[in-house]
């Protein structure tokens, strides 16, 4: 355990990813510790606030101390037609598209891989948990990249990967009708570097369920590389798994981690409230 100069207690949960933060709500809402928390987030990837029990209003206020609150990427508009600050990740939905989105969360991914500027971070609070399953896992893609042999690093840094909605759709429905494929193909698609060279100097792997193919490689070699790197990045030493309890809150660095939810029954009542921080740099 380490105690910072300002009194926040941080305890590493694994050697390479995840720290538990012990602080009261008033301390967090003061904003005094925002710089410190952002530094911890960048270095540890995931910050866990066990049983903190923030209200929606407190979560929004706390998120705003850490950066710019992102609304437009939450994928949900309220009855007034405006984007919402809180997005309810709720399995109790009859909308087929919403259910597909939830099932996509069972696959390793980073949010916004098809955007010019992905979101910086997400904050998730547990309101109801699933009786079984429903844990969330994060993989530190900065640590995974750093652990690669230098020769592999040099080869990967010049490659680009197309991330595409149709590739993600194919994970859930490998034999779509032509009409279904056309609909998924009309979704977003973007070429991104395989290695994100961050402004701060760190580097991370950009892989996951939206990765369709590596530009310039034979199709089989492309799949081989993407599967190998996903497996490499999600080895146990790079992963933190969180067993949710009601009132837990977790922040993760979306620019340096992959994440996924472990499968659970979609009618289980699991409910999470999410806020997000607007991205600050493109993948380059």
Per-residue pLDDT of the chain (284 residues; tens, 9 = 90+): 454 555 689 999 999 999 999 999 999 999 999 999 999 999 999 999 999 999 999 999 999 999 999 976 555 666 677 778 898 888 666 666 667 778 899 999 999 999 999 999 999 999 999 999 999 999 999 999 999 999 999 999 999 999 999 999 999 899 999 999 999 999 999 999 999 999 999 999 999 999 999 999 999 999 999 999 999 999 999 999 999 999 999 999 999 999 999 999 888 889 999 999 999 999 99
User: If DSSP states are collapsed to H, E and C, what string results for the chain?
Assistant: CEECCCCCEEEECCCCCCEEEECCHHHHHCCCCHHHHHHHHHHHCEEEECCCCCCHHHHHHHHHHHCCEECCCCCCECCCCCECCCEEEECCCCCHHHHHHHHHCCCCECCCCCCCCCCCEEEEEEEECCCCCCCEEEEEHHHHHHCCCHHHHHHHCCCEEEEEHHHHHHHHCCCCCHHHHHHHHCCCEEEEECEEECCCCCEEECCCCCEEEECCCCHHHHHHHHHHHHHHHCCHHHEEEECCCCCCEEEEECCCEEEEECCCCCCCCCEEEEEEECCCCCCC
Instruction: Give the per-residue pLDDT at 48.
Output: 98
Cα 140 from Cα 142, distance rounded (Å): 5
pLDDT of residue 21: 98
Give, in order, the Cα–Cα distances in Å from 176 to each of 97, 102, 169.
15, 19, 9
Give the number of other Cβ atoms within 10 Å of residue 58's Cβ. Answer: 17
What b/e sequence results for 112-151 when a residue is b if at least 16 CB atoms lie within 10 Å of its CB, and e otherwise? bbbbeebbbbbbbbbeebbeeebbbbbbbbbbbbebbeee
Are 66 and 120 in contact by the 8 Å Cβ rule? The answer is: no
Domain boundaries, the chain: 2-277
Q: Are 2 and 11 in contact (CB under 8 A)?
A: yes
CA angle, residues 116, 203, 216, in degrees to nearest 5: 65
Give pLDDT, residue 242: 98
Q: Six-digit token pair at 46?
A: 């995931």
Q: Say what the pLDDT of residue 94 is.
A: 63
Residue 211 structure tokens? 């990765």
Q: For the domain covering 2-277, report its CATH number.
A: 3.60.130.10
């Amino acid at each position: 355990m380490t105690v910072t100069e300002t009194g926040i207690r941080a305890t590493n949960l694994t050697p390479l990813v995840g720290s538990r933060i012990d602080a009261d709500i008033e301390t967090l809402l003061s904003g005094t510790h925002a710089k410190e928390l952002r530094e911890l987030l960048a270095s540890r990837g995931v910050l866990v606030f066990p049983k903190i029990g923030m209200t929606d209003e407190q979560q929004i206020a706390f998120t705003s101390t850490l950066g710019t609150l992102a609304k437009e990427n939450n994928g949900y508009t309220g009855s007034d037609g405006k984007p919402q600050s809180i997005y309810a990740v709720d399995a109790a939905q009859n909308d087929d598209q919403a259910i597909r989105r939830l099932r996509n969360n069972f696959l390793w991914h980073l949010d916004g891989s098809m955007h010019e500027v992905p979101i910086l971070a997400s904050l998730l609070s547990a309101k109801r948990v699933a009786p079984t399953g429903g844990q969330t896992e994060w993989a530190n893609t900065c640590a995974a990249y750093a652990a690669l042999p230098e020769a592999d690093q040099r080869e990967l840094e010049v490659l680009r990967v197309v991330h595409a909605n149709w590739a993600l759709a194919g994970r859930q429905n490998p034999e779509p009708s032509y009409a279904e494929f056309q609909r998924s193909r009309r979704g977003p698609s973007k070429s991104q570097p395989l290695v994100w060279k961050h402004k701060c100097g760190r580097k991370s792997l950009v892989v996951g369920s939206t990765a369709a193919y590596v530009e310039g490689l034979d199709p089989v070699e492309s799949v081989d590389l993407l599967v190998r790197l996903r497996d490499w990045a999600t080895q146990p030493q790079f992963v933190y798994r969180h067993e949710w309890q009601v009132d837990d809150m977790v922040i993760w660095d979306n620019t340096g981690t992959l994440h996924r939810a472990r499968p659970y029954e979609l009618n289980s009542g699991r409910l999470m409230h999410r806020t997000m921080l607007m991205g600050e740099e493109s993948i380059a």
